[in-house]
Amino acid sequence: MSDHRRNAGTGGVFRRKAWLSCLLWIGLCGAASAMQAGAGAAATSASGSGQAAEAKLVTRSTLGAWMLREDAARPGLNCAVKFVPARAGAVGLAILGPTTSSRASSILFDGYGIPSSRSPQQVQVELVQKDLPVTRLNAMQLPGDAASSAGVLAIPAGDIRQTLKSMRDREDEMQLKLVAAPTVSVAYDGLDQARGALLSCLDGKRFVGKSLREATAELRPLGTSTIRGQTFFKGAALAKKKYPPKGSRAVGLIWMTDEFKVWYEQVKRNKKLPEQIPLHILKHFMSTRILDDQGRWEFTNMPAGEYLLVANFSYEKTVNRPEVVGRTDVYRGNQYIGSNDQVAYWSYTVQQGTTFEKKVTVPRDGETIDVALDKSQIYCFIVCF
């Protein structure tokens, strides 16, 4: 993390649905979605804590986006910058300054590659950087998002200003090694701008930049329409509905403009998913969190147009499996006449994934569209096979 170590204390059928689903979940981790997710997180923080927290976009690139959170009511406190990676599954990075309740600063890493913990526990981490000696750090492994398997790792930052000064503006090959866990790779750029924004916030100066809403509007037009609905899977007519976990980003949306359709046709011709999606295409991908235990969700500030909704989540499925555990021989007198298998029936629960989609059209700006984004056995008999 730093140059100075003083503070270290298809082989298969090419199918339309599969491609659209894969493109959606790649695109949703891009800079456009990073800004959208950051806006939601900032709103939650402000309403939940009473703080006037405001999230702003500092900079974005093909690797991801840096966002700044500042508290107008408490200048110099509650300042933080977060790097949201553009690549699906990549580890994110956040740098947190002193707060009203603690003078300590810390660096957070979060992502699916970091083991999740049910409760906070101390761990040791090896930090590996190109052209620098390996550094062993004390860290705290924290519980991650309950709706996912992503974990969080917190490392004390000591003097936040010295730590920021020592960090490289860009890291391409940084690795975190935890005991008895796979090595996690971290990559970012643009820290020179994020560093300046955070230092200004720590000095009590307001960051002059675009709000996330303004930055999003540069990528795609904002409207006044709402698309909302409920998502569930039903495996049989009398089966219980299976809902995506509350808080998970199980529902995504693709804005099906002519620009996107032309690009998508080229992807199909190439028969290859792109590792990174161009910024002018990223604006077509959006995601939202599941609001409750009944699978409800909504997209707001949408312009009129054609959209494709895609649900992607896992649910618990009970599997029954017979197993032959023995054999009983049958005799009549002293004559063997056959055998009967002794069968035990086992029942266990597995995580079953499902993906399905639905087209929606918003005819005029300002309308609210209600959608039932569901998949049932009857529907599958007609469409899925």
75: enclosing H helix or E strand? none
pLDDT of residue 343: 87
What is the per-residue pLDDT across 127-176, written as a single tens digit (0 to 9) for each? 999 999 999 999 988 886 655 567 889 999 889 999 999 999 999 989 99
Let me know if 316 is exposed, middle or buried by CB neighbors in 10 A (0-12, 13-18, 19+).
Answer: exposed
Of 44, 362, 98, the residue nearest 222 (C-alpha): 362
pLDDT of residue 198: 95
Contact 37, 190 (CB under 8 A): no
Tell me how far apart the alpha carbons of residues 357 and 67 are, in angstroms, rounded to a whole number: 31
Confidence label for 219 from pLDDT (cuts 50, 70 and 90): low
pTM for this prediction = 0.60
> What mean pLDDT value characterizes the chain?
79
What is the per-residue pLDDT across 292-338, written as a single tens digit (0 to 9) for each? 999 999 999 899 999 999 998 888 888 888 888 888 888 888 888 88
pLDDT of residue 305: 94
Tell me how far apart the alpha carbons of residues 251 and 300 are, in angstroms, rounded to a whole number: 14
What is the per-residue pLDDT across 14-25, written as a single tens digit (0 to 9) for each? 344 444 444 554
pLDDT of residue 147: 53
Average pLDDT over residues 341-367: 88
